[in-house]
Amino acid sequence: MATVADVMTPSVLTVAPEATLVETAAEMSARQVGAVLVLEDGKATGILTERDVLRAVGEGAVSSAKVSDWMTRNPETIEPSESTDMAATLMIHGGFRHLPVLEEDGNVAGIVSIRDLMRVVLDDAAPKGV
């Protein structure tokens, strides 16, 4: 069985809570990522996703907004040693598509997305010879 460490993205875009939403969205677009981790004193305290940015745009609150205004605080997390099944279960029941991966000591190890988990399923189901 695959673990989260096997499929996660270890290089995570991180920002401070006081970063502007506009600058953060531009960086997300440039790096082609759907989520950033928000760090305070080196620890993950939030996550900002493309859905959060879309909500802010929809409410017309972008120009002066800070990441802290729109991030999800204290997001659900998972450890690298957990199974991909556990990650999928957390995401499905929580209704989110990105899950921060933290070591036991709370340090950021990476991020896992629903797309990462789908690759596991598709690799297992791929027809041989294709």
Q: What tens digit of pLDDT does each residue of 44-79 get? A: 999 999 999 999 999 987 888 999 999 999 999 999
What's the rounded Cα separation, in Å, for the pair 75 and 128? 39
Distance from CA of residue 61 to its chain's centroid?
22
Lowest mean per-residue pLDDT among 18-22, 60-64, 87-91, 123-127 = 123-127
Domains of the chain in start order, with CATH, are 4-125 (3.10.580.10)
Residue 127: predicted pLDDT: 62
- pLDDT-derived band at 124, boundaries 50, 70, 90: low
**Half-sphere CA count of 36, side-chain side, radius 13 A:** 28
**Half-sphere CA count of 46, side-chain side, radius 13 A:** 18
- Map tokens 């970063």 to a residue: 19
This prediction's pTM: 0.88
